[in-house]
């Protein structure tokens, strides 16, 4: 059953980069038997000081701000402000070491022009700087400058969580600071619940979380962080999702070291295995079926072919196809991985040396010849197009001319100046004709229409 998911929106030095900046020492375990009511009160008293309130200010008129969910809500009810407009929002974060490093969701601070942090029992409002973000995992690492040692949260082991285990969430739902809720782990390994190309493997919980909880910690009963609260099912109650903390640890190390995340890349397009395909040797429709291999990619160089069924990545057996992208993304660049594949009914081992995901961009640009503009489009489907017209942005390179003008992937381009486009060829021809002149795209983005102008 598919749920409509909505990301939890806002409401109204030196350091050894080779070392971990967090601690994983477990708190002394509480009663190992039946959980008592006062256990939660002790947890709340002990852990609340590590949770922070995040206040942001966003300039909605900035072109890049159009992708911010808060802007879409404002525009829906009040229309486009038509001038520079600032609004404030709230979110949650938690301190991961005594020097003031804070973890939260990227969507809490994305496009913010100002980030303020307030602590429990501290009247000081701290300015925060962004150390780095990972959009694909919806993570942000912040830093505040303090002249004292801060209370911090220990990071636990999310792999040891079991369905049915008790968990506690602390956050700022609807601006109600340091709200504590408790529940259980309802499920693990939730992946395809958000329409995004991110890397997700959510913990599902019925601990009550709401808008404003974004970026807050999900604790186990021993007081260790096992997840970061990120999303809720807006169509139901008691259905919340948290990023497993084990997926976060490697990202934090890279944000400290590089200020960004460098991910490994394999270079295959996959799909789930149908039951009809399982007769070739896969049991219970397990594995990831390769339907395309990018030329010059690590997979291509290792000899992986279309039609291969990947059964194992390293030592990890693939029960579902969507486990493969997550395993690749959590690997190190340069790692040599053994892949167990099934080809023509026979199992074989393939060794793949993973490359930097930046290689993917270079190959994609070379393959599709997206040129200096950094954009590629496709003909819109009947469902997507408007009155038979329009092309959909299939790819757009970040920091390219058109990206900086405000165009985003999946935008439906209806017109170039006054010309209605209906194919990729028409799109390319119109741009060639108008070289060295002002270009105006008329586009449809979800339910909104807007103009985007730039000089080619």
Does residue 364 lie in a domain region?
Answer: no
Considering the domain architecture, whether residues 239 and 333 belong to the same structural domain is answered as: no
Tell me which of 71-80, 170-179, 198-207 is least confident: 71-80
Query: Is 226 within the bounds of a domain?
Result: yes
Single out the residue in 358, 382, 414 at which a domain terminates.
358
Question: Residue 242: which pLDDT band, with cuts at 50, 70 and 90?
Answer: very high
What is the predicted pLDDT for the residue at 170?
Answer: 95
The pLDDT assigned to 89 comes to 76
- For residue 84, tell me if it sits in a domain: yes
Residue 258: count of CB within 10 angstroms of its CB: 11
Query: How far lies 193's CA from each of 2, 197, 198, 413, 417, in Å?
Result: 8, 11, 11, 27, 37
3-state secondary structure of 37: helix
Same domain, yes or no, for 340 and 202?
Answer: no
Return the CATH number at 314: 2.30.42.10
In angstroms, the CA 60 to CA 83 distance is: 9
Residue 341 and residue 402 in one domain: no
Residues 41-54 have a mean pLDDT of 92
Do the domain assignments include residue 118?
yes
Q: What is the mean pLDDT of residues 402-426?
A: 88
Residue listed under structure tokens 């599902």: 204
Residue 289 has pLDDT above 70, yes or no: yes
Whether 336 is in a domain gets the answer: yes
* Higher per-residue pLDDT: 439 or 84: 439
Give the residue among 160, 126, 186, 179 at the shortest CA–CA distance from 11: 179
Task: Provide the pLDDT confidence category of residue 229 given band limits of 50, 70 and 90.
Answer: very high
Domain-embedded: residue 46? yes
Active site members = 107, 138, 214
The answer on 226 and 100 residing in a single domain is: yes
Q: How confident is the model at residue 5 (pLDDT cuts 50, 70, 90)?
A: low
Domain that holds residue 18: 1-260
Q: How confident is the model at residue 200 (pLDDT cuts 50, 70, 90)?
A: confident
- Statement: residue 353 has pLDDT above 80: yes
Asked if 331 and 381 sit in the same domain, the reply is no
Query: Do 248 and 271 belong to one domain?
Result: no
Reported as a pLDDT band with limits 50, 70 and 90, residue 16 is very low
Please report the pLDDT score of residue 358 as a whole number: 66
Q: What's phi and psi for 84, nearest 5 deg?
A: -65, 130
In which element (H, E) is residue 353 found? strand 346-353
pLDDT computed for residue 40 by the predictor = 87
Weakest mean pLDDT among 165-169, 286-290, 292-296, 403-407: 403-407
**138 is a domain residue:** yes
- Does 178 score more than 70 pLDDT? yes
The per-residue pLDDT for range 380-403, each reduced to its tens digit, is 887 777 666 889 998 888 777 788
415 and 345, same domain (yes or no): no
Q: Could you give the number of structural domains in the chain?
A: 3
In whole angstroms, give the CA distance from residue 455 to residue 435.
8
Report the range of poorest mean pLDDT among 231-235, 289-293, 329-333, 386-390: 386-390
- Are 354 and 373 found together in one domain? no
pLDDT band at 196 (very low <50, low <70, confident <90, very high): low
Q: Is the pLDDT confidence value at 111 over 80?
A: yes
* 253 lies in the same domain as 272: no
Is residue 248 located within the same domain as residue 373?
no
Res. 80 pLDDT band, cuts 50 70 90: low
Does the structure show a pLDDT above 60 at 367?
A: no
Please give the full DSSP string across 218-271, using - where no structure is assigned.
EEETTS-EEEEEEEEETTSSS-EEEEEHHHHHHHHHHHHHHSS---EE--EEEE
Let me know whether 169 and 211 are in one domain: yes
| CA atoms of 52 and 178, how far apart (whole Å) | 8
> Is residue 383 one of the residues assigned to a domain?
yes
List C-alpha distances in Å: 355 to 300, 301, 313.
Answer: 12, 11, 15
Helix and strand counts by DSSP (H, E) for the chain:
9, 27
The number of CA neighbours under 13 Å toward the Cβ of 217 is: 29
**Are residue 101 and residue 232 in the same domain, yes or no?**
yes
User: Mean pLDDT over residues 197-208, rounded?
Assistant: 83
Span 284-298, average pLDDT: 84
Residue 69: is its pLDDT beyond 70? no
pLDDT reported for residue 342 = 92
Domain boundary among 221, 239, 260: 260
In this predicted model, what pLDDT tens digit does every residue of 301-311 receive, in sequence order? 999 998 899 99
End residue of a domain, out of 260, 281, 296: 260
Helix (H) or strand (E) holding 78: helix 69-78
| Average pLDDT across the chain, whole number | 80
């Amino acid at each position: 059953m598919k749920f409509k998911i909505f990301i939890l929106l806002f409401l109204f030095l030196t350091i050894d980069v080779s070392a971990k900046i967090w601690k994983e020492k477990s708190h002394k375990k509480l009663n190992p038997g039946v959980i008592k009511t006062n256990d939660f009160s002790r947890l709340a008293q002990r852990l609340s000081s590590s949770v922070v309130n995040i206040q942001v200010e966003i300039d909605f008129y900035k072109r890049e701000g159009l992708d911010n969910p808060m802007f879409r809500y404002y525009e829906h009810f009040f229309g486009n402000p038509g001038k520079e407009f600032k609004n404030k929002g709230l979110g949650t974060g938690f301190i991961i070491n005594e020097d003031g490093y804070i973890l939260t969701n990227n969507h809490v601070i994305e496009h913010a022009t100002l980030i303020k942090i307030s602590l429990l029992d501290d009247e000081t409002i701290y300015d925060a700087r962004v150390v780095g973000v990972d959009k694909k995992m919806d993570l942000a690492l912040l830093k505040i400058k303090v002249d004292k040692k801060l209370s911090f949260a220990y990071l636990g082991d999310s792999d040891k969580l079991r369905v049915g285990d008790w968990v506690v969430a602390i956050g700022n739902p609807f601006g109600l600071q340091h709200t504590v809720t408790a529940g259980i782990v309802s499920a693990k390994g939730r992946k395809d619940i958000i329409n995004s190309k991110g890397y997700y493997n959510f913990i599902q919980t019925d601990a009550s979380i709401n808008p404003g909880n974004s970026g807050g910690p999900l604790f186990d009963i021993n007081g260790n962080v096992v997840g970061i609260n990120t999303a809720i099912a807006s169509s139901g109650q008691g259905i919340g999702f948290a990023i497993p903390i084990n997926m976060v640890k490697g990202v934090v190390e890279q944000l400290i070291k590089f200020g960004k995340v460098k991910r490994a890349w394999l270079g295959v397009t996959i799909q789930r295995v149908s039951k009809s395909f399982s007769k070739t040797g896969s049991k219970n429709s397990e594995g990831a079926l390769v339907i395309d291999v990018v030329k010059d990619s690590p997979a291509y160089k290792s000899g992986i072919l279309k039609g291969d069924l990947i059964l194992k990545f390293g030592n990890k057996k693939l029960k579902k196809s969507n486990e493969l992208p997550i395993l690749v993304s959590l690997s190190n660049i340069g790692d040599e991985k053994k892949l167990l594949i099934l080809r023509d009914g026979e199992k074989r081992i393939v060794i793949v040396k993973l490359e930097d995901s930046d290689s993917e961009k270079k190959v994609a640009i070379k393959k599709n010849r997206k040129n200096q503009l950094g954009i590629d489009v496709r003909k819109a489907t009947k469902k997507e197009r408007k009155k038979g017209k329009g092309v959909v942005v299939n790819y757009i390179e970040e920091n390219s001319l058109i990206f900086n003008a405000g165009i985003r992937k999946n935008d439906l381009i209806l017109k170039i100046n006054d010309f209605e486009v209906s194919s990729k060829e028409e799109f390319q021809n119109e741009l060639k004709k108008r070289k060295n002149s002002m270009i105006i795209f008329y586009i449809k983005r979800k339910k909104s229409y807007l103009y985007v102008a730039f000089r080619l």
